[in-house]
Amino acid sequence: MNKKILFITLLLFSVNAYAALGEIGGKPPLVSINNLEEDSSPPYIDELNNLKTDLVLRITSNNATECRYSTIQGFNPLTQGNLCSLADPSNATCEFGKLLNGDYTYYYACKNSSSTWSSSNSKIDFEVNPSITVFVSIISPLDGNQYYIGKEILFEAEIICANEPCTFRWDSNKDTGWHSTDQNISYNGLSIGDHNISLTVTDFFGGVEKGYTIISINPIPTDVLSISDFQITKLEPADRYAVNSKIRVQAKVNYFLFESINAKAFIIISDPRTGQALYGPEPFYLNFSVPAFEEYDLNIDLGNYGFEERQNYKIEFLVVSNFVESSPEYFVDPMDEYSDYWADGQIYFIPETQIPEQNKANNSGYEIIELGPEVLRDISNLPETNSTIILLIVFAVLILLKK
């Protein structure tokens, strides 16, 4: 009888001790969400051309210190399984690596700071690439893009081709004589009109997939922008140009298309011998979407800029598109003091490729002027001796002419 009581007492003590240990160890981490990164439906692919699938675990109890995964149901996480990456106590990522086509089941478990593990019977079932072996998506040029003829166009696509080697072929339904077998190319020879561009990808086993995009190639218009009504007016003095002159510069910028464009207009004073810019205020920003014009009426005090007497200066009003102005190989910004435009001997010109139009000569209006001294000498007040000398010279010239 005493033995039975002792046995029951020990049994109750063991149960209570186990319960106490369970309370000391705490509850195991609770995984509420398990999904595959960046995708919730087959095929589970999160990196192009690399069938890499990561299992993401969300631990709502926020108490995970370690997580592991295995292909074995009920695996022992103390001795089995692969370690998952733990970003914080509520987020773990289990990297499966590169998986081939097929069905997969992975089991996982997480523990808390007291080394209490959750069940290693928790699992996720999924398929990798069950049906797609070839996939094509053209990312450049985008559907509906329009280009002027001669424009360099990048042809590029996102491609999955599981069974290598793979072949590629770009075609146009309009230019039937053109095609390319490069995966990505640049080309500027498409003809004017609408083009249905296709990219055909064929894998090693003959699997074929096509991607399509429709673009338009437009002719270069005769005129896009022009400068007209350019003129310089002497204000002070009113009868000549001098290093201290005040002048008035007028010009009109014209736009001819029914489409949106951004442009900049500049007034520049430069040395016509070297092209070096000597004066250039902030540019005028232009926004056009229909045929229109902008008029400019500017007063400039030449005395503020240290111009030299008896030197020629080019006063120019020009217009450029923002698109080309940002391309340093075509145009250097005259407003940027660090630009090559300001370097000695840097000749300024409007490049032929600057604005997509046939008539580029009218994108600039200019006049070359010579600046005289601030004050002209008054010969009426010359000394009498100098006046006599001048009269003698004139008399000698007249005698020579009569002979």
- Please state the domain extents for the chain: 25-128, 134-218, 225-371
The pLDDT value recorded for residue 391 is 74
Is the pLDDT confidence value at 102 over 50?
yes
Q: Give me the architecture of the 225-371 domain, per CATH.
A: Sandwich (2.60)
The pLDDT value recorded for residue 145 is 92
First to last CA, the chain: 167
The pLDDT value recorded for residue 260 is 83
Beta-carbon contacts of 240 under 8 Å, excluding residues fewer than 6 positions away, are: 234, 372
Beta-carbon contacts of 20 under 8 Å, excluding residues fewer than 6 positions away, are: none
Is the pLDDT confidence value at 49 over 70?
no
Q: How confident is the model at residue 263 (pLDDT cuts 50, 70, 90)?
A: confident
Does domain 134-218 fall under CATH 1.10.238.10? My reply is: no
Beta-carbon contacts of 234 under 8 Å, excluding residues fewer than 6 positions away, are: 240, 241, 245, 247
The pLDDT value recorded for residue 92 is 84
Segment 238-255 shows an average pLDDT of 94
Per residue in 286-330, pLDDT tens? 888 899 999 999 999 999 888 999 999 999 998 877 554 433 333
- The rounded distance, in Å, linking the Cα atoms of 386 and 305 is 35
Q: What HEC string does the chain produce?
A: CHHHHHHHHHHHHHHHHHHHHHHHHCCCCCEEEEEECCCCCCCCCCECCECEEEEEEEECCCCCCEEEEECCCCCCCCCCCEECEEEECCEEEEEEEECCCEEEEEEEEEECCCCCECCCCEEEEEEECCCCCEEEEEEECCCCCEEECCCCEEEEEEEEECCCCCEEEEEECCCCCCEECCCCEEECCCCCEEEEEEEEEECCCCCEEEEEEEEEEECCCCCCEEEEEEEEEEEECCCCCECCCEEEEEEEEEECCCCCEEEEEEEEEECCCCCCEEECCCCEEEEECCCEEEEEEEEEEHHHCCCCCCEEEEEEEEEEEHHHHCCCCCCCCCCCCCCHHHCCCCCCCCCCCCCCCCCCHHHEEEEEEEEECCCCCCHHHCCHHHHHHHHHHHHHHHHHHHC
Is the pLDDT confidence value at 357 over 60?
yes
241 token code pair: 């140009």
The pLDDT value recorded for residue 210 is 94
Is the pLDDT confidence value at 367 over 90?
yes
360 token code pair: 């580029």
Q: The pTM is what?
A: 0.50
Is the pLDDT confidence value at 188 over 70?
yes
For the ranges 28-32, 54-58, 104-108, 250-254, which has the lowest average pLDDT? 28-32
Beta-carbon contacts of 284 under 8 Å, excluding residues fewer than 6 positions away, are: 253, 264, 265, 266, 294, 296
Q: Please check whether the two domains, 134-218 and 225-371, share a CATH topology.
A: yes
For the ranges 25-29, 109-113, 144-148, 285-289, which has the lowest average pLDDT? 25-29
Q: Give me the architecture of the 25-128 domain, per CATH.
A: Sandwich (2.60)
182 token code pair: 């490069």
The pLDDT value recorded for residue 249 is 95
Q: How confident is the model at residue 200 (pLDDT cuts 50, 70, 90)?
A: very high
Segment 14-43 shows an average pLDDT of 49
Is the pLDDT confidence value at 402 over 80?
no
